[in-house]
Structure 1
Amino acid sequence: MTYKSRVPSDPAYLLALGQATYSYSYLEWQVIWLAQKLDQGFAISSTNELAGGKIAALFKSTVKSAKTKVSDVTYARLRDGYADLFRLVAIRNDLLHAHPFTATDGQRLGRYKDGKNVEWTIEGIDDACMRFDKLAIELNDIFHKALP
């Protein structure tokens, strides 16, 4: 049996939200596996209870520690990756900590910022998802092609 929620929602909106959530999770695990490849002592199990910002900070520290073990080009890519990760953690937090409200065209998530409610549109969610995917693909490329 498939559960059907009684909470009003738009299937297209939920599809975008679900994909963005999954894509962020995929990105986060790409970061964790990459950190473990950079530092064999990096304990993956220690990340199970960590929030995204803490994982980003650990990744940054691991990348900085690996500077002499990788090429300058790879280090620059990793450095750009952790910088982007911090920005994406903020986007993920903004999305997943948003609250539901009724917009003129249906149910949406939003955050109260600067005295107004800022809604997450499907386009905004898709943009966040594309950014999550882009970094995950970049880090996956480093993992498989730029590291021993």
Structure 2
Amino acid sequence: MLKVGDHLPDFESVNQEGETVNSSDLKGKKLIVFFYPKANTPGCTAEACDLNDNLSLLQKEGYQLLGVSADSVKAQKKFHEKFGFQYPLIADESKDVVEKFGVWQLKKFMGREFMGIVRITFIFDEKGICIRVIDKVKTKEAASQILEN
């Protein structure tokens, strides 16, 4: 998994509109990349909505925001429109982005083990260097976790 000091991985994927998003276009500003297991589920909705509700505070600190899951473009678009998110969601169906960040991991839930996306937030500086990793994301307090230093 990516850690503090690592560079933003090179990736190219598509957002909820099917438009290409390239990691090289994200450098130059502070960047928050948050990974969530599945669009339109309670925890993921709480996290994404909290970030959207506090987007102006994050932007005031110079951050741009990017959400990533392995959902389809259609699912991401539906999620994006339903809640009116003001930031892009990556539809990483190939799991290329989640693999490069190291968030595709073995998970345990109700006695079952399976591979899936772990809920993690990465914060990068203007040069694309990871300056913080939040691995215990509180879905209803995601923005305040990012803003606290």
Structure 1 and Structure 2 fold alike (TM over 0.5): no
The TM-score with structure 1 as length reference comes to 0.24
Larger radius of gyration: 1
Greater strand share, 1 or 2? Answer: 2
The TM-score with structure 2 as length reference comes to 0.24
